[in-house]
Every structure is written in C-alpha cells, then in structure tokens.
Structure 1
C-alpha cells in the first residue's frame, strides 16, 4: 500500500469519527524539491503530521502554521514556499498575501519552489435539541439540510414517531464530548427545568430556550435559588432565535438556526474581511 493510499484511508476514518484535521496537498513544484505535485499529508490540530509527506523542514514550518490558522477560521488557503531571491524579485516578503496566495521563504539549499493547498476538514457542528415539541421537530428537519450532527434528547415516551437524527438520548442528558455544540431547549413546559439544568451542565457555544422571557425569568429565579451562578445563567438566550416576527414552529426554527448560523460564521467573516 502506498503512502498516498494510507492518507486517503485515514481521511475517511477521521471524517467518520468527526475529528478535525487538515489535508495538505502539493499542487506545484519548480526546480528541485523533496516532494512532488500530488504529495499529500494529514496534519492534526496539535501540529503533527499523521500520515503522508509533503517534504522536509523547508516546507514543514509554513505548512503547519497555515494548517493551524485554517483549523481556526475554517478556510482553505494556498501557500507558496519560495527562495528569498525569488520573493525579492517579485517584491514580496515572507508572510505577504497576494491574490489569495500566502508566501513563505524556502531556506533550504535546493532553492526550489513548492505550492501547497491547505484544506481544513472540520466535524459537523453539533446541534442538541432538548424536547419533542413541534419547534423541536421543525429544527430537526431544517438542521439536517444544513449539515448539522443532530442529537435529540427527550423522553422516548413523548415521541410518537422517531425523527431521523444522528443520536437519540432517552431523557434530558447529553455527553460532554463535543467541542463545538449548540443547544436548543424546546420542551414547552414538559421538563423545562430538567432540560435547562442538563444544558448548563455541558460546554456549549449557544444555549437557546424556546419560550417567553417571563417563563425564562421564573426558571432563572428557581435556578439561582438552587445555587446556579449568574455568569452561567446569562448564557441562556430566551427567547431563542433572531427577532423575525416568527409565529409558526417552522418559522421559529428558522429564526433559531439563523441565530446559530450568525454565531458560527462570525469568525470566518472576520477572517475573510481581514
């Protein structure tokens, strides 16, 4: 089995396991370089090359730096590693960006040029939905089209027909093993407090409560009396969703996903504008 096949096998395994990584591919070389066009490597979030090869130290530093940046903002990039003399002829310095290409200096005696495409492969964002209300079911339908990994957490006895989800938890519980998680509590009076407590017990970038501000205020008071700190309770957004004037379950679900999308993309928008 060749190294190239090993890389592709590992890509499939990491995708299935919902693990983040970068696929680095040499797309062009000029003059003498250790790796040739088509060479690939998988770079892990901690900066290790897990499989494959894209050259030695001449390319490794620039590729690893670009990989770390790509895993943060989710954007692919092309880096061109060139000898200092060639960069100077073009009026470029290491670190410059021109027409979508990031330039780096090749300090190896070979003086070759290597262009490497850096492609981040990120896990699907995790959406955890507490409850089986009409809004919860509408969220499942719409979120599936947007590529979310969906976990439904609700008593099985309250679900007449199980919707298509990636994971189902019987009751209001969820494991704390996901880095980027968005939680929506749509219990509508059937286990509100238990669901909110479960949502507060795990790490999440977003916790939205489907219900009125009055209901949330009452729940917040009960939770505060139970010992929950204000800094944690402040992470609950109620009512969940952007203020679009939504009325139907489908419209409310859309407003919630719009709010989550706005939060998800803020870092990528800032990176694109910089």
Structure 2
C-alpha cells in the first residue's frame, strides 16, 4: 500500500511538471554494490535548481550528488551518468571526485556504509517553441516542415483572429500561456523567424525582438535587413538589439524555393538546438 501511494505521488508530480512545462530530470539507480539504502530501479525527480522534488535515491550522501547532476543535465540538455563511490575506492582507481571518464562522472560517497551506486540522470525539457512571423509562402512552408521536428509551432501575423488567450504586439497576434509562442513555458527554448517578406517587416522585427528568444532570424537579404535596421534605429530601437538578429535566416544551402528556404532555416535551428550551447544562438 505504501508503494502504491509512493508511485501515485511520483506520477502525479510528473504529470504536474509536464502540464506546466517546467524542466526537470529523472534520476534512476541502475546499479549498486555492497550496502546502499536505494536499490536498482529507485527513481527521483530533480528540479532545475537541484532540488529533489519526489522519489527516493538514497540519503544525504546520494541526494547532493544527484541534485547537482540533475541541474547539470537540465542546463546542458544532455543525460548524465554518475558513479557514487567511497573515497578509498576512488583513490584506489586513481579517480578524483568530480572527474569524468568515458561519459561517467564520479562522485564521493561519504556514508559509513561505503557502498557504491551508479545513477542515470535524464533531463525532461519542454518542447522548443518556434514562432514564425508572417503568413507568406516561406512562413507556411516553415510551419509545415517544422511539424516533423518536434517543435511547438506558432504563426503570428496581422489579421489573425484575436482570442481571449492571445495578445497583440505591433499588430501581430501572439498566443500566450505555457503552450503559446508569446510567453513560453519556463525553461523552454524559443526560436523566432521573421518571414514577413515585405508585409509588415518593420513591425514584425519589432514584435520579434520584443517577444524575446535565444534566436531571432530574418528571412531576406543582408542589404534588405540593413535598410530595415537603419530605419528602426532611426525610430529609436537600440542597435544592440538588432545585432542579435541572424540575417539572412538559415544556413547557406543555395536555397531558392520557399520549401528550400524553410529547410535551410530548420537546419540552423536543429544545429542550435542540439549543440547544447544556450548562450551561442544569436548570430549577426
């Protein structure tokens, strides 16, 4: 009965975190040697700040190491594998606490039991948000193709119907809330592409930069973007904000058709999404 209640609480917390879009990690004990309080199969939910929110993976000796690994996994967007071992065993193997070898990060187990435990920590992150400004051929092709890449898509364009869960920014309607493009869930990565193509370019750029995202790209030539940037700066926008915009959008694959341009943009988003570097996404 206790086990059933424990599992219910664990699953309830998982559902709650997924519903709110909050990033978290699941730590699973995969191997133990000698005396350990947690056994293989034990699980815990770790929040972005390293707090263990639910579950059991051992006492204080393990919780600190698992909390740090969970926070690191969420920040990097990559799984972590940690091996918790007594200090004597680490020294005998010539391994220092915190050292990583062949994908395994070692930590010291200071508990009197002197047991060893291997733990796999997997981050669970909200789906990245792709917000596309515009409703032309490239915008349509991009939204269509992005559906195959596990991205939450939002199209923002003048004239779209405004509803109770939406807000307007410079004439562009943006849905709000955890699943909206206007205000992403905590921890969700966001990519914005301005594909207005002559229909509200200045307003689209203003709205895109106001919305905030780790990557903002503009569909158009460097010359066209430079002209728009000059006008926006003359209108009071800071040059530093415009320097964050990647123009032209996408990687250079000599794209011509809307579908090819959409492919080049998604290739760039995939590259940024998978490199794990959240601070390196802005291009100029």
Indicate the TM-score class for this superposition, using the shorter chain for normalisation. Answer: 0.7 to 0.9
Q: How has the CA–CA distance of structure 1 residues 150 and 157 changed in structure 2, closer, same or farther, with 3 Å as cutoff?
A: closer
Q: Which residue of 2 aligns with 1:172?
A: 172
Structure 1: gaps of 5 or more residues: 159-166, 269-274
Measure, in 2, the Cα distance between the counterparts of 1:224 and 1:79. 50
Superposition pairs of residues 64-103 of structure 1, within 5 angstroms: 64-103=67-106
Measure, in 2, the Cα distance between the counterparts of 1:111 and 1:266. 38
- Partner of 1:108, secondary structure, is coil
User: Runs of 4 or more off by more than 6 Å in structure 1?
Assistant: 167-170
Measure, in 2, the Cα distance between the counterparts of 1:66 and 1:173. 40
- Pick aligned residue for 1:36 from 29, 36, 39: 39
The Cα shift of 1:63 comes to 0.8
Measure, in 2, the Cα distance between the counterparts of 1:92 and 1:238. 47
Q: Which residue of 1 aligns with 2:261?
A: 252
Measure, in 2, the Cα distance between the counterparts of 1:228 and 1:30. 61
Measure, in 1, the Cα distance between the counterparts of 2:263 and 2:24. 30
Note if contact 2:48-2:75 (Cα within 8 Å) is conserved in structure 1: no
Q: Say whether residues 1:184 and 2:178 are aligned partners.
A: no
Q: How has the CA–CA distance of structure 1 residues 71 and 236 changed in structure 2, closer, same or farther, with 3 Å as cutoff?
A: same
- Partner of 1:201, secondary structure, is helix
- Partner of 1:145, secondary structure, is coil
- Partner of 1:267, secondary structure, is coil
CA deviation vs aligned residue, 1:70-119 (integer Å, no higher than 9, x gap): 11211112211111122233332222323322211111111111111111
Note if contact 1:186-1:209 (Cα within 8 Å) is conserved in structure 2: yes
Measure, in 2, the Cα distance between the counterparts of 1:105 and 1:111. 10
TM-score, normalised relative to structure 2: 0.85
Measure, in 1, the Cα distance between the counterparts of 2:183 and 2:15. 24
Aligned residue pairs: how many?
A: 261
Note if contact 1:143-1:150 (Cα within 8 Å) is conserved in structure 2: yes
Cα RMSD between the aligned structures?
Answer: 2.2
Q: Which residue of 2 aligns with 1:127?
A: 130
Superposition pairs of residues 1-150 of structure 1, within 5 angstroms: 1-150=4-153
Measure, in 1, the Cα distance between the counterparts of 2:158 and 2:11. 40
Structure 2: gaps of 5 or more residues: 175-181, 278-284
Measure, in 2, the Cα distance between the counterparts of 1:81 and 1:238. 47
CA deviation vs aligned residue, 1:167-202 (integer Å, no higher than 9, x gap): 987751443445521100111122211111101112
